[in-house]
Amino acid sequence: MDNFQFWSPTEFVFGKGTENEAGKYVKKHGGTKVLLHYGGGSAIKSGLIDRVRKSLSDNGIEYVELGGVKPNPRDTLVYEGIDLCREEKVDFILSVGGGSVIDSSKAIAMGVPYDGDFWDFYTGKSPEAALPVATILTIAAAGSEGSGDSVITKEEGGLKRGAGSDLIRPRFSIMNPELTCTLPPYQTACGATDIMAHVFERYFTNTEEVEITDRLCEAVLMTMIKETPRVIADPSNYQARANIMWAGTVAHTNIVGVGRQQDWNSHGIEHELSALYDCAHGAGLAVIMPAWMEFVYKHNVMRFAQAAVRVWGCKMDFENPEATALEGISRFRSFLHSIGMPINFEELGAKKEDIPALVEKFGIGDGRTGGFVALSAADITEIYNIAANASL
């Protein structure tokens, strides 16, 4: 196991009705003037925003609102949010929604106290200050409610890039699984795929002797395999929703990834797809992640065989561990298909002829990137090709 530092300061407030306590928690965490940030309408339609407004008012907290965050959140709304916060002297940002709203809030939070362009933080600069951010989560997926990450798309040129800092870890996250019951099955499945991908990106490592995090990863994956079909069959299943919601947070605070090398190439390769086609991040991952696995598994067949046996329940073929490894990957793809995810370019709405442009935008030139296996541009081209042509 490698040395590590892990800081997860978020207060998680979990369960039925907890959104009605939003005002109390803003007060507890020092907010006096709030930016209430939300998405394209689901939280208004469900009455959630009204309940949050009431809770803020009941606690004497002033607020201004900025709705309209789109999935794959854009820089243009972030600039608007930064201006609004400065004009209104906002000192706290409350995001109501999913990863897109939360990430937009985090970008605004870093941008407000910064003299330069907030995009600098998405091209390598570290922030020195940020407004406090908190969340009321409405979809189990990105894990942004407990992470120090934010992913934003620059409209001009369609660049999707990430920023990371402990300064943007949420102060509190309110998580009521009931709020996720209005999610359409497709969006639920996209979220489940993202959660599983967050674990796999950490599971495939070259670090040895990481039994504790291996086992934590396996627990999250097995929970997702059990619970996802239950919510697809019955969207109002509270207990299954609750298990998935917490799994999504555990998958991405990094508690399942500490002390080990990680590999985020599948996410990087996917981000080019959601930037170009504006598809859901989870759907893009359903196409890319098994393809990445098929490309890299030979690097450590036994680790893939371990996942196949422990997570997917495959029987270990001691004569031919490679067959076991491949069976695990195949079970993953079949599982994704069974919950309604696309498994190749055609099903995703992507085009093979765009592959050179996707690789170009990935932007590694003659270099290599990745932890488990460092990939060249030619390798990434091959992964897109495997993804384009995948079948069950």
Q: Answer for the pair 251, 192: CB distance below 8 angstroms, yes or no.
A: no
223: Cβ contacts below 8 Å, ≥ 6 apart = 243, 244, 247
CA 14 – CA 247 distance, rounded (Å): 12
**Is the torsion defined by CA of 374, 377, 379, 382 positive or negative?**
positive
Q: Which is nearer to ligand NZQ, 139 or 210 (CB)?
A: 139
Q: How far is the CB of 299 from ligand NZQ (least distance, A)?
A: 23
User: Could you tell me which stretch among 46-54, 192-200, 213-221, 342-350 binds Zn ion (CB under 5 A)?
Assistant: 192-200
- In the structure encoding, which two tokens stand for residue 111, read together? 């941008």
Order of strands across the sheet with 62-66?
11-14, 172-175, 133-137, 92-97, 33-38, 62-66
Rg of the chain on CA atoms, in Å: 20
User: Could you tell me which stretch among 7-15, 125-133, 187-195, 342-350 binds ligand NZQ (CB under 6 A)?
Assistant: 187-195
Site membership for Zn ion, residue 145 (CB under 5 A): no
CA nearest to 390, candidates 339, 350, 353, 358: 350
Site membership for ligand NZQ, residue 139 (CB under 6 A): yes
Scanning residues 94 to 123, which ones bind ligand NZQ (CB under 6 A)?
A: 97-101, 103
Q: 45: how many CB neighbours lie within 10 A of its CB?
A: 10
Site membership for ligand NZQ, residue 142 (CB under 6 A): yes
- Which of 187, 193, 205, 324 forms a contact with ligand NZQ (CB under 6 A)? 187
- Which of 103, 145, 149, 194 forms a contact with Zn ion (CB under 5 A)? 194
Q: How far is the CB of 163 from ligand NZQ (least distance, A)?
A: 9
| 149 contact, one of ligand NZQ, Zn ion, none, CB 5-8 Å limit per kind | ligand NZQ
Site membership for ligand NZQ, residue 273 (CB under 6 A): no
Site membership for Zn ion, residue 263 (CB under 5 A): no
Q: Which is nearer to ligand NZQ, 60 or 124 (CB)?
A: 124
Greatest C-alpha distance within the chain: 69
| 103 contact, one of Zn ion, ligand NZQ, none, CB 5-8 Å limit per kind | ligand NZQ
Site membership for ligand NZQ, residue 149 (CB under 6 A): yes
Q: Which is nearer to ligand NZQ, 97 or 257 (CB)?
A: 97
Q: What angle do CA 119, 111, 130 make, to 5 degrees?
A: 125
Q: How far is the CB of 145 from Zn ion (least distance, A)?
A: 13
Q: How far is the CB of 25 from Zn ion (least distance, A)?
A: 26
User: Could you tell me which stretch among 146-154, 190-198, 212-220, 312-320 binds Zn ion (CB under 5 A)?
Assistant: 190-198
156: Cβ contacts below 8 Å, ≥ 6 apart = none
Q: How far is the CB of 139 from ligand NZQ (least distance, A)?
A: 4
Site membership for ligand NZQ, residue 40 (CB under 6 A): yes
Q: Which is nearer to ligand NZQ, 49 or 383 (CB)?
A: 49
User: Could you tell me which stretch among 181-189, 234-242, 291-299, 340-348 binds ligand NZQ (CB under 6 A)?
Assistant: 181-189
* Chain positions contacting ligand NZQ, by CB under 6 A: 39-43, 71-72, 97-101, 103, 138-139, 141-144, 147, 149-151, 179-180, 182-183, 187, 191, 194, 252, 267, 281-282
Q: Report the interface residues with Zn ion, using CB under 5 A.
A: 194
